[in-house]
Amino acid sequence: MEAMLDFAQKRICITGGAGFLGQHLQARLRQMGARELFIPTYPEYDLVKAEDIARVYADARPDIVIHLAAKVGGIGANREKPGEFFYDNLMMGVQLIHQGWQFGLEKFVAIGTICAYPKYTPIPFKEEDLWNGYPEETNAPYGLAKKMLLVQSQGYREQYGFNSIFLLPVNLYGPGDNFDPASSHVIPALIKKCVEAREAGESEIVAWGDGSPTREFIYVEDAAEGIALATQRYNSSEPVNIGSSFEISIKDLTELIARLTGFEGSVRWDTTKPNGQPRRKLDTNRAKAAFGFEARTSFEEGLKRTIAWYEENRG
């Protein structure tokens, strides 16, 4: 274990800090003693633009930057806007790291994505498998843009001694998630579908693909805990998976959400729609060994909390 940062003595800038994960990370950092958090929000700061990034550094004067901000979405959004997803994510990350080094930043925490892994990665995904193939095509532009931050992190550490780390969280879910059908991920999309079908008395819902792919999910509070611990204790540019090690098929996930939301109809699988990556499950041993992180929230408990939040906050 590395020497621990004292968050009470540090100014911390969180890009994307007003978002889903960011709000939970803010709360966790405050619990761990952080007092000065700076959250740049759009459109006041457009982090794709170098001059706006320069203003963030001037205004926040941070010791630590945690870069959560990203242009993200499900398979549909990734297929519609591959160019945007590549450019915006690459420009944000590359310029934040470069200007952070120029500024004399103490530490940079880059948040990557599970989409950076090759399409056919052996299960469970180990960090050393990251370069053994091309990512799944539907989200490769996003995954590769994020993966470049790992290359940059390692290059800047080697040449300049710049302390940056690179974390690979698996798919998040939890209270406050994005339930917009145009851009949401699978769990909020299914919760919304099942709740609306239940209320309308519909006999079936339609789900994408054939239900065979597997996914791993991490409850958002657990992910925030992992990022906070890595920020506090980890100082190496070797990438680290942040996950729960729990794998579930999309078919089983859909049936579980139907049961927990009280939707009693059937599921029709639209096999004209893509499945995405065949399997996803992370090896999380490095996070445990390097900074003592293990996810704690059981999947069913996390889903119940997410559904309850949606039922209370929609509309």
Length of the chain: 315
Q: Which of 45, 57, 117, 142 is catalytic?
A: 142
Cβ-Cβ contacts under 8 Å for 20 (sequence gap 6 or more): 172, 174, 176, 177, 178, 220
142 catalytic per annotation: yes
Cβ-Cβ contacts under 8 Å for 259 (sequence gap 6 or more): none
Cβ-Cβ contacts under 8 Å for 36 (sequence gap 6 or more): 10, 11, 12
Nearest to 110 by CA among 138, 59, 148: 148
Q: Which pair of structure tokens corresponds to residue 310? A: 């949606």
Q: Which residues are catalytic?
A: 142
